[in-house]
Amino acid sequence: MNQNINGNTKVLGLIGNPIEHTISPSIHNLLATKLNMNYVYVPFKVDDGMLDKAIEGARALNIQGLNITVPYKEQVMDNLIKITPLAEQIGAVNTLKYTESGYVGYNTDAEGLNISLINNSIQLKNSKIVIIGAGGAAKAVGMLCAREKCKKITIINRTVIKGEILANNIRQYYDVETEALGLDEIHKISPFDIAIQTTPIGMSPNVHDNPVKNDDFYKKFHIAVDLIYNPSKTKFLVEAERNGMKILNGFQMLFYQGVKAYEIWNDISIPEEILKEVMTDLIN
C-alpha cells in the first residue's frame, strides 16, 4: 500500500484501451514525488461505449486532470466545455483539465514534439519536412510544422487520399506549401531537410519493419525523427544513421507531452533541473 496517500491526495489519470504498456504513470508519479505534490496518477482502462460515463464519473469524483490515449483522443472532444485552438486544428485532445463547469481539452503531443526538437537543435522554421503517415499522430506533427513556419510539408502515406485530406486540412489554417504522395511514389520526392516517421511501423515487437525501404530516400535529407520510442532505434532510424544522418526517437516527445500536461493541470512551470532528474530516473 502507498503510505503517502491520504485525505488530501488528488487523483490524476489516463483513459484509454489498451493501456497496459503505458509509461505515463511513471512520468507523472515521479514528477509528483520530485515536486513534493500530493498527487497520484492512475491508468483507467475504459471499455468501448463507456467513455461518456467515464468522463462524467471522473468529474463527479473531482479528478483534476486526465490524459486521453488511443482510441479516444477524437471521441473525447464531445465531452468537453472548451478546446484549445491547437487541439481544434489537430482534431484530437490528449489532456483534460478539470474546471467547475466541466473539462477543458488540450493537445500536448504537438508541444511535446516541439520541445523535443528544440532540445535537440532541430529547427522546423524554413525547413522542408516529409511526414511519413497521415493518421492522428501525423496530424499533430503537420499542424506543428505549419505553425512553426516550415517551408514545405510532403506527406507520404500508403493511402494517398488520407495524405491529401491532411494536406488540405493544414492549408485551411496555415499558408504553407504541401504535397501528398503514396509510399510507392517516394522516388518523386526532391531533396528536403527532415523526415518525421509517424506510423506504428517498426514498433516493438515488429522491430524489423520499416515503412521506407527505398535506399535513395535516405540520400535526400539529413535529419530523421521517429515518434516510436520502443525500440529506441527503429529500423527507420538505423537506416538513417547508416546514411550519416542525425536521428531522434520519440522518447522525449512522450516525456514532454506528459510534462506539459502536468504543468497545465497545476498552472506551474517545472524547473529544468527537476525535469533532468526525472528523465534520468526514467531512463535508468
Residues that bind ligand ATR (CB under 6 A): 133-138, 157-159, 162, 198-201, 211
Residue 92 CB, shortest distance to ligand ATR, in Å, is 8
CA 160 from centre of chain: 22
Cβ proximity to ligand ATR, 98 vs 111, nearer residue: 111
Q: List the catalytic residue out of 45, 73, 149, 235.
A: 73
Sign of CA dihedral 254, 259, 261, 262: positive
Is 252 exposed, middle or buried (CB count within 10 Å of its CB: 0-12, 13-18, 19+)?
buried
Is 73 exposed, middle or buried (CB count within 10 Å of its CB: 0-12, 13-18, 19+)?
buried
Residue nearest to ligand ATR (CB): 135
Whole-angstrom distance, CA of residue 239 vs CA of residue 247: 10
Cβ proximity to ligand ATR, 102 vs 200, nearer residue: 200
Cell digits of residue 124: 522546423
Residue 231 CB, shortest distance to ligand ATR, in Å, is 17
Cβ proximity to ligand ATR, 27 vs 196, nearer residue: 196
Residue 139 annotated in active site: no
- Computed on alpha carbons and rounded to an integer, the radius of gyration of the chain in Å comes to 19
The number of beta carbons lying within 10 Å of the beta carbon of residue 121 is: 8
Cβ proximity to ligand ATR, 89 vs 266, nearer residue: 89
Q: Does residue 223 contact residue 232 with C-beta atoms inside 8 Å?
A: no
Whole-angstrom distance, CA of residue 95 vs CA of residue 164: 27
Residue 116 CB, shortest distance to ligand ATR, in Å, is 17
Residue 250 CB, shortest distance to ligand ATR, in Å, is 11
Cell digits of residue 221: 535529407
Cell digits of residue 195: 523526415
| Pairing between β-strand 95-99 and β-strand 65-68 as defined by DSSP bridges | antiparallel
Residue 276 CB, shortest distance to ligand ATR, in Å, is 28
Cβ proximity to ligand ATR, 64 vs 157, nearer residue: 157
Q: Which residues carry out catalysis?
A: 73
